[in-house]
Amino acid sequence: MSVTVGLWSHAFIPGKPESVIPIADLRITNASLGDVLVDEKGRTVLKMTFERISIDEDDGNDEEGEEMKEKGASSAFVCSLVAGKTEQTVLDITLLEETEYIFEVVGKNTVYMIGNYIDQNANQPPYGESDIGSDDEGAYDLQEVSSDVEMHPDDLDGMESDASGIEDVAEGAAKTKKRARESDVAEGKPASNVEKKNKKQKVEVARQNKEEKTEKTEKAGKKDKKDKKDQAEKAEATVKELPGGLKIKDAKVGNGVGAKKGQKIEMRYIGKLADGKVFDSNTKGAPFKFRLGDGEVIRGWDEGLVGIKVGGERLLTIPPAMGYGKKGSGPIPGNATLTFEVKCVGVK
């Protein structure tokens, strides 16, 4: 199972082959033409070149039994886009970490690609965990009991009289023990030291339980007050609306100087659709980095994150025109209003 850890996007310009070396495994999900077209009728093709590898089996002397060998370069055509007909396409291509890929646009229009970094090892059980307990099956098989304990049916003769004798002895012992306890009570003998110790331990345990319960109740009360205070502070945060319909709400201001266009910022975020469904997030691992105002992200981010400070938290409500427009992208439908809960963790 793979988990998304960060957004990625890039614009590939005609006549300018570019090298892409992902810092982590990268899944490309969409390719599209931009809002400005140089050739409004022609076809634009995106070509990808990469090193081809193959798996060859050896003669069996190697314990691994396989060897990766380079076999030169291979080329593939990722997509073909035609203005007015097919201006975008959904992709599912995974580029491997620290592997070089060369992209080249054949045609006159710029091709824009978007995707996300992924962690392909998430939620996998540790090696060998599924084998735990397999050797214990059948460990107590009664068929392995020694034949020495088996008895012949003829040996059972006379067992009834012996058993009755044992029962008589057990019954007599039980009656004797019961009479002794009754006599002790009648004589008013004091409780033994063991009974006193047990009673004292029970009292101490009850006292400790009461103290722990009181402490938990106090902690829960303090946490509830803090949560209510935080909610009140967030509710007091004002919503600022920019031209174009972009809404900004500062939940936490942060520290230092606000980010300016041209600076590189590092972000955590959770992206949601209008119905609350999460379509992308970055909450752990490497933060998402990009240069503010350079068109590396959607317009709602480029304009909505100006002025954010380190430690600052914002809620961005982005209209379709400043997000992914009428056509959408991947899991994002067309004309979708998006909300992003963002937190700035670095400004450079």
Q: Report the catalytic residues.
A: 269, 279-280, 298, 324, 340
- The residue behind tokens 């409780």 is 191
Largest CA distance in the chain: 113
Smallest Cα–Cα separation from 122: which of 1, 209, 25, 23?
1
Please give the full DSSP string across 245-290, using - where no structure is assigned.
S-EEEEEE--BSSPP-TT-EEEEEEEEE-TTS-EEEEE-SSSPEEE
- The residue behind tokens 């982590």 is 24
* Chain Cα centroid distance, residue 206: 41
Q: How far is CA 117 from CA 5, 7, 26, 298, 322, in A?
A: 5, 6, 4, 17, 23
Spatial separation of the C-alpha atoms in residues 14 and 10, rounded to whole Å: 13
Buried b / exposed e over 116-129, threshold 16 CB at 10 Å, is: bbbbeeeeeeeeee
